[in-house]
Structure 1
Amino acid sequence: MTEDVIIIGGGVMGASAAYWLTKMQPGLRVLVVERDPTYARAATALSVASVRQQFSHAVNVRISRFGVDFIRNFAERLGPAGGIPSLGLQENGYLFVTTREDQAEVMREIAAMQRAEGAATEVRGPEAISARFPWLNTEDLVAGSFGPRDEGWFDNMGLLAGFRNAARAQGAQFLKAEATGLRVENGRLTGVEIKGRGLVPCGAAINAAGTRAAAVMGWAGLPHPVEPRKRTVFVIDAPNARHPDAPLFIDAGFYMRPEHGHWIIATVPEGDSACDPDDFEPDLHLFEDVIWPLVWHRAPGFDAVKVVRHWVGHYDFNTLDQNAILGPHPALPNLYLMSGFSGHGLQQSPAIGRGIAEHILNGGWQSIDLSELSVDRVLAGTPMLERAIV
């Protein structure tokens, strides 16, 4: 039997698309193919699970404005079928800091745009930062960009489970299997090869395969600038630095946030490059060699720390500009992309899933114009770079 839409990848992006498709068009045949429904190594499960408004492109701010409202009101949005009473949104905010005046000017420019989009971003001087967060060393800071509301962190697996539950209740099918190929005839995708099932015909397909998205495009002979990048995340105990009201804090060389009496902390490794999609070996030296000296300088209370656990996750890293690649591919107009989120996919999934569903069902972007994130810029080699990547 022909499926209307086959979604390759059942993480938060694939589940969101399935939810929105079946919500917008009841009775639509949607099949989600996921190779590992335990999600043990999925980017969704291994995310730091945060949401922010502080992006330098308005389209990303709009995506997150919708996202944070959806996350805050998740149970109401999905109804009883979602089965998740709350995502526990913790709105401690984000704080980006800088020691450079030129970057402070950029902060002020971007914050004005964010406020025009409805965000509450404030750019503060070192004295104001110290007054709000007295545990920080602000002596060498010039400015900080702080979002006092609509930014923080939430339950990542609750978001995924809610989308899956509601999509299933609306008729979507989730299949534990591995997609292995695409059938293309006369410039159209006609089916997806699924291990154990053979060729499954479809009207359209969505590539939501995360770090393996490039391999999926390779089945159709199409290049795709997305690769896995490894991130080792540490959970540390700092008994002299108990600050449960701390924001997600981003400084040169690291980011951190509080988590149940501990801290989650990570860095981008020097020489960051593609890794094997099955490489989950932690880079344990990063904490002592790179992160701890930087944290201790910025927050003297981190003089005594202990790593209590760690994990490794992967970014589906867009090598062109670290922004999402969305929508139909011009070479295969019924193959849609949800790819290349480079670490901010979880928070974007509510709006992106809605946008992809609207495009498939109505032929274009509707609620939010996502055309700036289309495949066209990739094919033209024209990056849409964010000024701060987290």
Structure 2
Amino acid sequence: MTRLGNRLSPDSLLLSDAMIGWNQSLSRSFDVVIAGGGVIGSAVAYFLAAHPDFDGRVCVVERDPSYQSGATARSAGSIRQQFSTPENIRMSQFGVTFLKALGETLAVEGERPDVQLQEGGYLFLASVAGLETLRANHTVQQAEGAPVTLLDCDGLAARFPWLNLEGLAAGCFGTAEEGWFDPFALLQAFRRKAVALGVTYLADEVVDIARQGHRIGAVELAAGGRLGCGWLVNAAGIRARDLARMAGIEGLPVHPRKRQVFVFNCREPLPGCPLIIDPSGLYVRPEGSGFICGISPGPGEPDPDCDDLEVDHGLFEERLWPLLAARVPAFEAIKPAGAWAGHYDLNSFDANAILGAHPELPNFLFANGFSGHGLQQSPAVGRALAELIAEGRYVSLDLSRFGYERIAATQPIIEKNVV
């Protein structure tokens, strides 16, 4: 096995069937079928199985039981309160609360999972051009009770003396309830608890959907046969658009976009280093004894649909390293230590989640388009969709704003803090 910092390389996450709890001896009809067993699908499965008003049968269909190529294991594994949309903040607030209690909540036979949550904080940096947006976002975050503080350049220098302030006007720092954790450990914890509560996991793939008028009646499987279902949850990640098309829904704006994560070591210590978001779009944070970093394409830069996992090492050498050294002088002398690639299920419409029922197919539920926020939002999304199924409405947190209707009405939700 290979380790990158304190976590296993995504390429080494091989699991046996016994560890996963896959069950190939199936009843051929379920109350809920979930297409996709990553962190979103497994969160929905757990919250459904744990819901006191739900006693139905749940099946999760996952094409890759090793999870090697899935987005969850290849995530940078972070959580933040610093969004500009109140609902996104509220989802992450529940997410961090859930992570802190996870050892007890998701324990199985006395084994308490640990996702190694590190509340190192996020530091969003702004130039003069971005100062007004930073201040406006901070106002929204404070109104939602997020523990964030706005720092001018003197405040940045006092708190982070190793930071180069050239070109900066201010920063916003999360003093608590933000940081990073082990993404695969969260997926594994959700899945193991769901299995312990009776959820069936099937190593297969949905290849077609049978509609009965305005309802989904069954799904066809790659290995043959079909599963009847009362509800179908689309948690298919980068394949969500294909699954929606099988149900007769065209144009779901969810695309597979490759994102690369680079690992490096630095000999000079950076005390109190948070996850830094530079105005250039660069992010960097501690990972074990080293660091990880990456960047998303900016406006107008190429960002094609892509399902491969090849790493472009030139991106680090030619673009990221100069940006790192410019912002943190200690990063001029660093040693690359590895890299991997994963995918965002990017919602090209507004980069926010698409949740809930399709208006013409009430038993087809979306859980798609998280655009890099899926891991941290998975507890809130799992709880929300479980409530929709078991109680017919959102109860704990109203997420109706993220419904499919906004796409049909061309009314995007503008989230200003997309990383």
For Structure 1 versus Structure 2, the TM-score category normalised by the shorter chain is over 0.9
Deviation at 1:374, TM superposition (A): 0.7
What is the CA deviation profile of residues 153-184 of structure 1, one whole-angstrom value per residue up to 9, with x for unaligned ones? 01111111111111111110001111111100
Deviation at 1:346, TM superposition (A): 0.2
Residue type at the aligned position of 1:137: N
Residue type at the aligned position of 2:195: R
Deviation at 1:244, TM superposition (A): 5.6
Give yes or no for contact 1:327–1:356 (8 Å, CA) kept in 2.
Answer: yes
Which among 47, 55, 69 is matched to residue 27 of structure 1?
Answer: 55
Which among 184, 188, 192 is matched to residue 161 of structure 1?
Answer: 188
The alignment status of 1:89 with 2:117, answered yes or no, reads yes
Deviation at 1:105, TM superposition (A): 2.4
Which among 59, 62, 82 is matched to residue 54 of structure 1?
Answer: 82
TM-score, with structure 1 as normaliser: 0.96
Give yes or no for contact 2:108–2:192 (8 Å, CA) kept in 1.
Answer: no
Give yes or no for contact 1:16–1:353 (8 Å, CA) kept in 2.
Answer: yes
Aligned-partner SS, 2:264: strand
Other-structure match for 1:140: 167
C-alpha distance in 2, partners of 1:339/1:85?
26
Other-structure match for 1:274: 304
Residue type at the aligned position of 1:40: Q
C-alpha distance in 2, partners of 1:162/1:295?
34
Other-structure match for 1:333: 362
Q: How many residues align?
A: 387
C-alpha distance in 2, partners of 1:44/1:272?
24
Gaps of 5+ in 1: none
C-alpha distance in 2, partners of 1:319/1:82?
43
Deviation at 1:26, TM superposition (A): 5.2
C-alpha distance in 1, partners of 2:398/2:123?
28
The percentage of aligned residue pairs carrying the same residue is 45
Change (3 A) 1:34 1:216: same
Residue type at the aligned position of 2:247: A
Other-structure match for 1:228: 256
Matched ranges for 1:169-208 at <5 A: 169-208=196-235
Give yes or no for contact 2:126–2:169 (8 Å, CA) kept in 1.
Answer: yes
C-alpha distance in 2, partners of 1:378/1:310?
35
Aligned-partner SS, 2:371: coil
Aligned-partner SS, 2:130: helix
Give yes or no for contact 1:205–1:336 (8 Å, CA) kept in 2.
Answer: yes
What is the CA deviation profile of residues 117-174 of structure 1, one whole-angstrom value per residue up to 9, with x for unaligned ones? 1211111001111111111011321000110100000111111111111111111000
Gaps of 5+ in 2: 1-27
C-alpha distance in 2, partners of 1:122/1:91?
15
TM-score, with structure 2 as normaliser: 0.90
Give yes or no for contact 1:5–1:205 (8 Å, CA) kept in 2.
Answer: yes
C-alpha distance in 2, partners of 1:15/1:225?
23
The alignment status of 1:64 with 2:82, answered yes or no, reads no
The alignment status of 1:3 with 2:30, answered yes or no, reads yes
- CA RMSD in angstroms comes to 1.4
Other-structure match for 2:142: 115
Matched ranges for 1:206-217 at <5 A: 206-217=233-244
